[in-house]
Structure 1
Amino acid sequence: MSATTARPRMKSPISAAAPARTAPSTRVSGRTFNIVALIVLIVFAIVWLIPSLFALKTSLTDNGTAALGASAILGDWNPTLASYASYFQAGDIWNWYIASAITSVFTAVLTVFFASMAAFALSRLRFRFSNVVLLLIVLGIMIPSQVLIVPIFQELNAMNLLNTYWSVIFPQVPAVIAVFIFKQFFDGIPRELEEAARIDGAGLWKIYWSVVLPLSRPVLAAVTILTFVGVWNNLLLPLFVLSNPNLMTIPVGLATVQGSFGQRYADIQAGAILAALPLIILYLIFQRQIVEGVTGSGLKG
């Protein structure tokens, strides 16, 4: 009878449940990419800030010094608010602010309402020639707005809407790019949510208002703000349809005032900063919604 000797089991030095380690080269490459990206962003930020800071410095400089050139502007360290005071004393800037706010808010609200409904129909409804309709809408992006100024003026004149806020609001409500952005966002919303709402007895309007729009808050905010900014900065349309000084928007009012300034660079830069200041504040408040809406990252999880 032979005795059998049990061989001892050799334990593996590495457990099967041990997590995989990240290669050092991967971590180094990721850190390098972050550093390079940070440097590039800093460079772009500096390139963007230098003209803005120079404009601010010019607006705080005397007109006589500003006329001497950039070296005189940078070498002057006696800031003055005379250029800003001239707008509040001689111009109707508060009326221009109110007119710009009214036209921008109403246009943004109407644009979001009608563009979202059109995009919902193109995204969720099935009808003949839907692709043709979408193609025709997208082709509208290729038409320059300057080409439509004369027909728009004639239509507004026929309806007796010239020199009213509606003459600035109505022509800017049909925004092709807003329809396109909304449709792209609506296409990413799961259809299971719509089907569940239909099972509960919801109709198209209920699905649009209670299901789709609440999920589209980021893109709603983005389109609203982008439309607001576009209308606020629009010079050509208000210049053609408004002649009443009390109804002029900020760009038109500043253009009329700056036309009498001549080479008064400080006053011109002060006017530009006054026009851009509300938009800067608006963007700083809603920058997160703008980024989420444009990138389409509103649906998470």
Structure 2
Amino acid sequence: MKYIFTCLAIVCTIALQAQSISGKATYESKTTVDMDGFGGREMTDDMKKMIMERMKSMLEKTYILTFNKNESLYTEEEHLETGASGGGMRMMMNSFSAGVQYKNTETNELVEENEFFGKQFLIKDTIQNINWTLTKESKQIGQYIAFKATGVKELSDTDFQFARRRGGRDGNRRGRIENDTEKKQDTIEDSKKDPLEEIEIPKEIEITAWYTPQIPTSTGPGEYGGLPGLILELNAHRTTILCSKIEMNTKDTSDIKKPTKGKEVSREEYQKIVKEKTEEMRANFRGGGRGGRRF
């Protein structure tokens, strides 16, 4: 009975808002790292804490989603880079700089700016909606009632944001270290390794989203959307994105424009460029070279 009354209340709210829906949502994104996997074999708790603090700018970000009924613009708030060592994954992540992302759920259009190794690209794509499973589970997020949806997202081999440590190798090698001589030899071997061999990208990840039908726009943070309401919280792998503030019917939401900066490419073309550049970087590393061809 409570569920029925809740649904009726939401339907009434939607009927009133659907014609002129617009607003701005602030999202806080946090990513956790398995330091035992990425941080070396003999790191103290203080060392792990120090590295996590230095990687904070990469792991904690703030985004603004400006939206109306059909369109949205997703931008990252600027921050100062603190700089840190983080192995192969950080090296790869620092090569990317995500820009503005535009979505139109009516035309199924997605346009985003990306900087990769100093070159600006304008990626034109269609919205790849997840095959969501809607549930009756709900919770309160701020002043909104949010419902849970789950799905599976397929990844490409260039989705480095979901990279993880290859399993098993560290544990096996840790058991072999018995004295200082072996430790030194192990360090020398590590310095000669291709850093990207340390990581792998899974084929797919599970996604959990919490959306509110009280804000009837089928969008959300990043590329995510396709639900009957704005996504307020999203969990993907080790990343949680949570809406911390919503301003409805703000004046600047009527001027949502597509990004225009960069070389225009399709998603497939961009992924090919990233893959080729990654292989080039790995070949240079193995050969001790520092050069590389330009785009």
TM range (shorter): under 0.3
Structure in which a larger fraction of residues adopt strand: 2
Larger helix proportion of the pair: 1
The structure with the largest alpha-carbon Rg is: 1
Instruction: For CA contacts below 8 A with separation 6 or more, give which structure has more relative contact order.
Output: 1
Give the TM-score, by structure 2 length: 0.23
